[in-house]
Structure 1
Amino acid sequence: MFHTRDISTMIILNDSNDDNSLVFSLESLTQAGIILIMSLAIVVTNVLIIATFVNFRGPSEVINCYLLSLSVADLLCGLFIVPLSVYPALVQNWVYGDILCRVVGYLEVTLWAVTVYTFMWISVDRYLAARKPLRYETIQTKTRCQCWMAFTWISAAMMCCPPLLGFQKPLFDAEAYICMLDWGNMAAYSATLSILILGPSLITIIYTYTYIFTMMKKLRSGVPIHDKEYATALSENLSNPSHIMSFVLVIAFWVSWTPYIGVKIYEYIMGVKLTHPFLHFGIVWIGFLNSFWKSIIIVTMSPQFRLALRIFCMTICCRYKGRMQAELIGMEADD
């Protein structure tokens, strides 16, 4: 199929000393601009979140370890994946070579796996806070959570290695302007990896949040709990905004990637490929946009993070950071 190009919407850059010229259409400029803005937004918001968590010296929840891991994964995406699609979107071609294309594809699937596994650990953390409120602080220590996250990053990096080290040529998506590994020639491995990543994560998330919301409903309905100490601890834990925030993070992630996954499943079942460039471009980058939305959700739904952000903003240029943090934390505790 041949496509006509509207010359009136093109910008032609021609070097007088060279016969080569670059032709930028309005469509390519718009798409490159969208990708560039996304990259800047992802980097700025996640740098701010990481700096805020690292700067905060007050008592913090264990879930912050997981949120920090999510922000690191999103920052790596904003630094090493998204920006590399800006120039290819302009010239309609991958210009950085097969090796870098392969590395980008590897990073994509690795960071995606880290994110999915991290959501699983967050759901387990919230489940333990509701299931064992009296023992939660002894079960979920920061050291233990940091070990789980280190294990998650290492295992995800190792599981996704075979396609990176294989001999298949990486694929450049000419409609979304992004490189991917060739999973089609490794169908058995791809299916196994999908089961290992999605299976445990989805089952755990569904079970844990079902339990959490069931317990919330019981408390609101006034179901009697005979152990008063347990009831008090449970009520206090379930009133923590982190439960709802973590659930919204999970929902936002899957809502962002569902269009892309749904289209791929449809294409596989029907045996056809949808030829709508704007549709394909949109569903791919809506998925990547989740790296930005997570930051917005954390800022709007976590009172503790807003306190930490306040402290960070007020102490950037202040010499007495430690004293100011202590005063602000004390003020928050008094409130």
Structure 2
Amino acid sequence: MKQPREKKLSSYDFSRSRRGEVDEPLTQAAALASLAVAIILANVTIIAAFVNSRGPGEVINCYLLSLAVADLLIGLCVVPLSVYPALIQKWVYGDLVCRLVGYLEVTLWAVTVYTFMWISVDRYLAVRKPLRYDTVQTKIRCQCWMALTWVSAAMMCCPPLLGFNQPTFDNDALVCLLDWKNMAAYSITLAVIILGPSVITIVYTYTYIFSMMKKLRSGEPMHDKETATALSEACANPSHIMSFVLVVMFCVSWAPFIMVRAYEGTTGNRASLVPHLHFVVFWLGVLNSVWKALVLVSLSPQFRLMLRILGFTLCCRHRARMQMELIGMDDD
């Protein structure tokens, strides 16, 4: 009587373990597919809201539009290509596509970092020169800076694309990553060029912005009344807090991945503290492409107004025109 029962239990345990092995790839694939859909929907909405509200607006909107385009490319070209490999647990699209995915990841990441730097400079000028801000920061100048940012990032990150190193498919993270170990000098130089000026600029500009806000709240007297009034209006702009939260969210999202990669690069050992560590830290960073939309909705009254106009446009063109006239925007 005992022997058949033991045989039945062992068969049940085997089927349960096999079912767990099958469920895990399905769960990962479903999570990646959901992430891709969320990124695409969030950033298509952001882009549509900015494009639909054709009016004067703020210069910072050009930078936010650039961020949304970079995030949309991640949702279209990076995340979907990891869904099927998550199911079969291997890369099936060939070395060329793997190399392109790795190149896009680095390029779009560099574009995002540089864009945050330009946003911090824009917010700094709004506080540092409130009376001359409109003449110093124009949309044409902003668009030129963003075009230069995209071109320079694409060119700086292209050597791995030309075949100087081999891309690798991370079986844990389920994504193609460029192997930077064979190009240590280039990797360090690229990191210094991207992170060096960006981090220094962001820290300095936001330190100055928040120090000026503190002075205004403390009631510290200023010599020029006109400048004090303009400065008070500039500091009251919610874009300062919104942009700073965007930078903080980006750093928090990507910090675990950067620390894991730094640990592995310095020690030569693969970090395996918890199961699927690489999967969690990499896709947590990519999830930042969704958080940006939530931050904009929460902290930007102007963006919420743009969403309302977009909704009116989709539902009723006449009501959208009336709404734009009320806020002084041109619908033509």
TM-score by length of 1: 0.91
CA distance in 1, matches of 2:288, 2:14: 33
> 1:59–1:167: structure 2 CA closer, same or farther, 3 Å change rule?
closer
**Aligned: 1:244 with 2:241:** yes
Whole-angstrom distance in 2 between the partners of 1:181 and 1:273:
16
Name the counterpart of 1:139.
136
Deviation of residue 130 (structure 1)? 0.6
Q: How do 1:1-335 residues align onto structure 2 when only pairs under 5 Å count?
A: 7-8=15-16, 10=18, 25-275=22-272, 276-320=274-318, 323-329=321-327
Q: Is the 8 A contact 1:58 1:329 kept in 2?
A: no
Alpha-carbon offset, residue 202 of structure 1: 0.2
On the 8 A contact 1:120/1:201 being kept in 2, the answer is yes
User: What letter is aligned with 2:242?
Assistant: M
Q: TM-score, normalised by structure 2?
A: 0.91
- Opposite residue 190 of structure 2, the aligned amino acid is L
Aligned residue type for 1:28: P
Deviations 1:28-55 (A, max 9, x none): 1111111111100000000000000000
SS in 2 for 1:315: helix
Instruction: Tell me if structure 1 keeps the 8 A contact 2:263–2:271.
Output: no
- The CA deviation at 1:9 is 5.1
State the identity %. Answer: 68
Secondary structure, counterpart of 1:316 in structure 2: helix
Distance in 2 separating the partners of 1:281 and 1:306: 33
CA distance in 1, matches of 2:84, 2:196: 36
Structure 1 residue identity aligned to 2:117:
M
Ranges in structure 2 where 5+ consecutive residues have no aligned partner:
1-12
Structure 1 residues not aligned, in runs of 5+:
12-22
Q: Is the 8 A contact 1:299 1:305 kept in 2?
A: yes
Contact 1:24 1:90 survives alignment (8 Å): no
Contact 2:170/2:176, CA 8 A, preserved across alignment:
yes
State whether residues 309 and 324 of structure 2, in contact with CA within 8 Å, keep that contact through their aligned partners in structure 1.
no
Greater fraction helix: 2
Q: CA deviation at 1:115?
A: 0.1
CA RMSD of aligned residues (A): 1.7
